[in-house]
Amino acid sequence: MNDSRTNNFIIMLTGILTLVTVMGIGRFSLTPQIPLMIGDGYLTLSGAGIVAAMNYIGYLAGAIHVSRMKQGHAFFSKQAFWQRCS
């Protein structure tokens, strides 16, 4: 039984680290690629503006979502995490 929990923890940790890595690469690689995409003809200037606007709308939606969370949300999330892993 303990091996199963350890295996589940390793799988979860691998997923978290993969997501953090991929999101970090995606987040910081968009801006330098836009001039290259415009230069190669894959994107117009107005298309680049739409892409940037959608990116900022995503940030805004995330910020609004987090600001509306209840205060105890982080506490309950941590409790559920530790209860599941122990």
Q: Is pLDDT at 84 greater than 70 in this prediction? A: no
Burial class (CB in 10 A: 0-12, 13-18, 19+), 48: middle
Condensed to tens digits (0 to 9), the pLDDT of residues 9-66 reads 888 888 889 888 888 777 788 788 889 999 999 999 999 999 888 888 988 888 888 7
Q: What is the pLDDT of residue 74?
A: 65
pTM exceeds 0.75, yes or no: no
Q: Supply the DSSP symbol for 61.
A: H
In the chain, domain spans:
2-85
Q: If we measure between CA atoms, which residue out of 62, 60, 55 comes closest to residue 27?
A: 55
Tokens representing residue 55 in the block: 């990116």
